[in-house]
Structure 1
Amino acid sequence: MYMTQTHTDDYERSDGRAIRLTYAEPDGSVRGGLVVLHEGDGVTDGVRLLVASLADEGWLAVTPHFSGENLTRDDVLGATDITLAWLVDHGVQADLLGVVGFDLGGTAALVVASNRRLGAAVSVGGQAAGELPVLVDIAGKLTSPWLGIYGDAGDESGGEEVEQLREAAAHSGAVTNVVRYPGANHRFDADPEAAVEAWQRTLNWFDAHLR
């Protein structure tokens, strides 16, 4: 049972572009709009709970349905662009738009933050997947304020890849922050304390940049 109800609709633009969206609306005033990029398993109950939880914090939150298999840069940007248009159609101002992704969606969020100018972006976990580019190759091209949150439990490099990502992001010219949790896995479900802190950091980042 969700705190806020989620809805799923098929949305079509006048140019024929269409996508299925799952969204949740805040009870009160809308602080801004967040595109939630889901993990490889699709729009699961966990994703719906995330969308509902963001709505409880005052955000109009919406996730586009896309296939996690062989996902390309153009797939991610195409789905995100239509979803951003949906948010604008629902009255969200352009400077109050953000994107957040978990796991595969975390990688997708970095792709978006490196190709679109949004108010804020957050990636929680994620690594190179499908046809998506290598993270460190795109972090230096960030065009949106970006927070990256990563766990390195089971990471044979000992967090080296995350540190490379931090350095690349720092050279982008965008406002960035990379946080590494040595005890957490890439999905943060093995370390509840890290998961709670990652959630709070995510909310704080949007609070700070979408205003």
Structure 2
Amino acid sequence: MTSTSTVDYQRTDGRTLRLTFSAPDGALRGGLVVLHEADGVTDGVKMLLASLALEGWLTVTPHLENAELTQQDLLDATDVTLAWLVERGVQGDLLGVMGFDLGGTAALVVASHRRLGAAVSVGGQQTAELPALVEIAGKLTSPWLGMYGDAGDEAGGAEVERLRDAAASAKVATNVVHYPGANHRFDADPGAAAEAWQRTLNWFDAHLR
């Protein structure tokens, strides 16, 4: 398994942003910003970074203060993280973003405010500081895949249909997938988790090239 490392990256304003990243051993296919869940950069996040790196992606997650994370804070941190990837040789059309749980909502926010090659959301925890999913899905500027279970998801149950309809009005490719019975982390349904993982890889393969 590819290992992860943590660095303090200096921003243009003089402040630093802590980043945890994982690099592929072979050829670099592109770069992915991974936005973490509400619990921060957990072992699960590090495993996701390493697993994506094994597929050839340079993956990096910014350490975010989720308790009071505003939309502008999120976009600023993502911009800095994207700059870090570009400095390491990733071309603009090979940049993507992915998030799960709270990070899934964050990834949708980024994908509706930045032009990236691809974006993936797995789950979508809502906060008072970030907009509702259906309010921004129609404003997507990056090709976006959203995957949702039931428990704990704003987009669970019937809401997934509203989200699918909203995303369909965007001027980029979108796909919204509902896994009935799966929870928001997909760990209650190994089959759904495996399919969601393959859909993620296929989405990045199709759009980051």
In structure 2, the partner of 1:93 is 91
Determine helix, strand or coil for the equivalent of 2:69: coil
In structure 1, the partner of 2:200 is 202
Name the TM-score, length of structure 1 as normaliser: 0.95
Residue 131 of structure 1 deviates from its aligned partner by 0.6
Moved more, 83-92 or 183-192: 183-192
What percentage of residue pairs aligned between the two structures are identical? Answer: 76
Name the TM-score, length of structure 2 as normaliser: 0.96
Residue 158 of structure 1 deviates from its aligned partner by 6.6
Q: 1:132 to 1:21 in 2, by over 3 A?
A: same
In structure 1, the partner of 2:159 is 161
Residue 130 of structure 1 deviates from its aligned partner by 3.7
Q: 1:68 to 1:157 in 2, by over 3 A?
A: closer
Q: Is the 8 A contact 1:153 1:182 kept in 2?
A: no
How many correspondences in the alignment? 209
Of 63, 73, 76, the residue aligned with 1:75 is 73
Distance 2:68 2:141 in 1: 25
Distance 1:17 1:155 in 2: 34
In structure 2, the partner of 1:5 is 3
Question: Aligned Cα RMSD in Å?
Answer: 1.5
Q: Is the 8 A contact 1:12 1:19 kept in 2?
A: yes
Q: 1:14 to 1:78 in 2, by over 3 A?
A: closer
- What are the ranges of 5 or more consecutive residues in structure 2 without an aligned counterpart? none
Q: Deviations over 1:91-145 (max 9, x none)?
A: 0000000000010000000000000000000000013224110110000100000
Moved over 4 A (4+): 153-158
In structure 2, the partner of 1:16 is 14
Distance 1:27 1:72 in 2: 35
Distance 2:201 2:20 in 1: 20
Determine helix, strand or coil for the equivalent of 1:116: coil
1:143 equivalent to 2:141? Answer yes
Distance 2:70 2:28 in 1: 32
